[in-house]
Amino acid sequence: MRATRIVLSVATCAMVVLSAVSNAEAQRMYNTAKQKVLSGQQIVGGTVDTPDPQIYCAMANAGFDFIWIEMQHSPLSYQDVARMIWACKDAPAIPFIRVPDATEGDIQKATDIGALGIIVPMVITPEEMENAVQWAKYPPMGIRSQGGGQYRAIWGNDYRQTANDNIMIIAMIEQLEGVEQANAIASVTGVDAIFAASSDLGSFSGRRQGDPEYERMITKIKDDTLGADKVLGGPSAWRDREGFLFFQAPGTTTFIRNGVRAMLADAPEGVAAIEGTEPRD
């Protein structure tokens, strides 16, 4: 009997250890942007809407926390974006995709090619985000299909066990209906952040930033988001606004234009650069 008790005790200890290891693996975090923003730090993502992998790599290695891959307002295909993400799979900036629409197919394709952030545009009801969370998360949290894709080659063999913790879900509020439903949208379990779409809110409301009615909408989104203990996002020009932590920076054309202007205005003199010695990202 004593020997039996010893064997059972050893087996129990082994099960506890294995359970602890399993739980530790499930908590492995590789979405550094999500880690940072959930700790209360600001994160900024540069916008990419071109299929050129070299441009994507330049942006992904430029110092951004994440890259906002623009598929709603661009001709980018999922094949294009898969190549872009793979080209710089070791870059520090985490790939986020603004999907064309909050459909099961769009969201599952985005996650299958390696996106760790899903940005859902034009949200006006909490049901839209409930569906988005379901399609982005594996069981038991959601109903994402096992499928295939390059996600495991990028994020590790334990992706299936860790993806739910690492994927970040962002709802964009752009319309007046979305403003009115902001509290319900922000309260959806699994939604990590609410993004106040500055330009579209102005377009749909006919109000400009600074107008009292415009600012009332932003304040409502802010109060509802923070009241639900979620992250608040907006354009990078709003980095000084209280409560905002998640920011979209301009696109590649803006940075190229500004970079050229800065270079021409402050061109160094002396020894010319040696061709072929530029950093390769």
Nearest Cα residue to 116 out of 96, 86, 133, 138: 96
Residues annotated catalytic, as ranges: 73
115 close to 180: Cβ distance less than 8 angstroms: no
- Please report the DSSP string for 59-88 in residue order: HHTTT-SEEEEE-TTS---HHHHHHHHHHT
**For residue 195, which amino acid is it?**
F
Nearest Cα residue to 245 out of 61, 33, 96: 33
251 close to 47: Cβ distance less than 8 angstroms: yes
- The structure tokens listed for 223 are 């109060």
**For residue 118, which amino acid is it?**
I
**Could you identify the residue written with the tokens 């010695």?**
277
173 close to 123: Cβ distance less than 8 angstroms: yes
> Could you give the CA distance from residue 178 to residue 201 in angstroms, rounded to a whole number?
10
The residues, any chain, with a CB within 8 Å of residue 86's CB and separated by 6 or more, are 114, 150, 154
**Could you identify the residue written with the tokens 């986020």?**
96
